[in-house]
Amino acid sequence: MRLTEKVHHILRNHLHEGDQAIDATAGNGYDTIFLAEQVGLSGKVIAIDIQDSAIRLTGEKLDSTGLIDRVKLVTDDHATALGKLIGASREKIAAITFNLGYLPGSDKRIQTNAESTKEALAASIQLLSPGGCLSVTAYRGHSGGTAEAETVEAFMRKSQCEGHAVDCFEPESSNSPPILWLLKKS
């Protein structure tokens, strides 16, 4: 099973009608569409991406699938956008997903980075409801990817020490495979 499928499998069992969820890296919109389907008509998804083109593409896909009304689209850095949400949505979010790196087929220089990802993860813990789920898929094959993956690992190890349940999945490969971290808030 690919890591993206694993995330969807886990969140399919976790999310319910009426929940609120966040896609912190909307990209081509696949994860946003998945989250919007899971939270149902009465749920809400916030989809964030730093690239306006990604947000527009995600919006078009949501429009054509009839899911647009349950999704708020935000063009911004995820650390900034999540930080702004804390006031109104503290401990209200059932799931937050991060699929780090760059958008395949797009400008590879526009990629997530360790500093802003670290800040975004810290904000995510405050936004998650008790029992809420955080998924982070990190890629190590591109420049900056290894440093970012190490930052995610440090965050997850610290969170585990603080009492949150943390799991890690790493496909067997000799060639810097992506790594998936899952956190369930205590």
Ligand X SMILES: C[S@@+](CC[C@H](N)C(=O)[O-])C[C@H]1O[C@@H](n2cnc3c(N)ncnc32)[C@H](O)[C@@H]1O
Residues of this chain that bind ligand X (CB under 6 A):
25, 27-31, 48-51, 54, 77-78, 99, 101-103, 110-112, 116
Judging by beta carbons within 10 Å of its beta carbon (0-12, 13-18, 19+), is residue 66 exposed, middle or buried?
Answer: exposed
Task: Output 20 or 111, the one with its CB closest to ligand X.
Answer: 111
Q: How far is the CB of 99 from ligand X (least distance, A)?
A: 4
Closest CA to 70 of 26, 20, 27: 20
Closest CA to 43 of 58, 23, 57, 25: 23
Q: How far is the CB of 33 from ligand X (least distance, A)?
A: 8
Task: Output 23 or 165, the one with its CB closest to ligand X.
Answer: 23
Closest CA to 46 of 127, 121, 152: 127
Q: In what order do the strands lie in the sheet with 71-75?
A: 71-75, 44-49, 20-23, 93-99, 128-138, 179-184, 165-169
Q: How far is the CB of 130 from ligand X (least distance, A)?
A: 25
Task: Output 51 or 129, the one with its CB closest to ligand X.
Answer: 51
Q: How far is the CB of 171 from ligand X (least distance, A)?
A: 16
Q: How far is the CB of 45 from ligand X (least distance, A)?
A: 12
Q: Which residues contact 151 (CB under 8 A, 6 or more apart)?
A: 114, 117, 118
Residue number of the CB closest to ligand X reads 27
How far apart, in whole angstroms, are the C-alpha atoms of residue 150 and residue 65? Answer: 37
Q: How far is the CB of 163 from ligand X (least distance, A)?
A: 28
Task: Output 48 or 166, the one with its CB closest to ligand X.
Answer: 48
Task: Output 83 or 160, the one with its CB closest to ligand X.
Answer: 83
Which amino acid appears at position 123 of this protein?
A
Task: Output 106 or 129, the one with its CB closest to ligand X.
Answer: 106
How far apart, in whole angstroms, are the C-alpha atoms of residue 124 and residue 118? Answer: 10
